[in-house]
Amino acid sequence: MRAFTYERATSPEGAASAALRTPGARFIAGGTNLLDLMKLEIEMPTHLVDVNGLGFDRIEPTPEGGLRIGALVRNTDLASDARVRRDYAVLSRALLAGASGQLRNKATTAGNLLQRTRCPYFYDTHMACNKRVPGSGCSAIGGVNRQHAVIGGSDACIATHPSDMAVAMRALDAGVDTLRPDGTRRTIPIADFHTLPGNTPSVENALAPGELITSVTLPAPVGGRQVYYKVRDRSSYAFALISVAAIVRPDGAGRIALGGVAHKPWRVEAAEREMPRGARAVTETLLAGAKPAEHNAFKLPLVERTIDAVLTNARA
């Protein structure tokens, strides 16, 4: 691990200013992803700004009838919150499907959104990776790419986003609330927060330098049967081959978002209009233009079969 300096932020404005002021600075809270990457010398921040003391650890109702989830709320606390379990069950189920109990006790809401890909070529510093070293190439293209993206990729990157929570957040139309170093605040729709790789796969989200996530806001509950189904190589401690976050209303309409298939949680609203017609119609629209790699074409029928199982169970 490379040497770095460290400070504990005492205010959100101070944290954002410190991150912008020091080149190579990073925020740290739970550190469940960042510290691993630092040990492997994939991430090499020169300065860490500890944001654990900023008080963003509460879940509060909004005037609009939704919930505001502080950026520092631990995954365990979010999954077990009675309001989340009752009104946003897809989010609770997605959190419980991710990681281990020990990691959920430490991992934060903002950190979960910001975790980086688990592509093995990203983690192997001897291999070319445009996400790790821009312009070096993508070893996954033409390599072992069973886990990789089937849609939304590019000639520069076919990595997938690893978060389960983010997939549920996408289905719920969450907003990511932030504070910029100049003191201005904004809310980024979750649909726009994560980016596709294009020619710049090292740019993974819409945050500006020094911009600090303060909370995630959920709209008022939409009702319906809420399901999160994760297909993986083993039943625990594994990232998704694919995952489906679904909200199914009694009339058969609803929402569907996918994980494990793209560089970001994947949702196509036009596909949701096909839900009353069944899984095949949904999948054809949801994955229109898919370009699987050499080893992962199996994900396309797997998506259809999983959506079919989810819709069948939700309507039962």
Residue 251 pLDDT: 86
Contacts of 308 (CB under 8 A, 6+ apart): 278, 279, 280
Q: Give residue 152's identity as a one-letter amino acid code.
A: G
pLDDT in the model for residue 213:
98
Structure tokens at 14: 């101070």
Mean per-residue pLDDT of the chain? 96
Q: Give the tens place of pLDDT for each residue, 217-241.
A: 999 999 999 999 999 998 888 999 9
Indicate yes or no: pTM above 0.95: yes
Position 103 confidence tier, pLDDT thresholds 50, 70, 90: very high
Per-residue pLDDT tens over the stretch 185-208: 999 999 999 999 999 999 999 999
- Count CB neighbours of 219 within 10 A: 15
Q: Is residue 250 exposed (0-12), middle (13-18) or buried (19+ Cβ within 10 Å)? A: exposed
Arithmetic mean of pLDDT, 34-46: 96
Residue 218 and residue 281: Cα distance in Å, rounded? 29
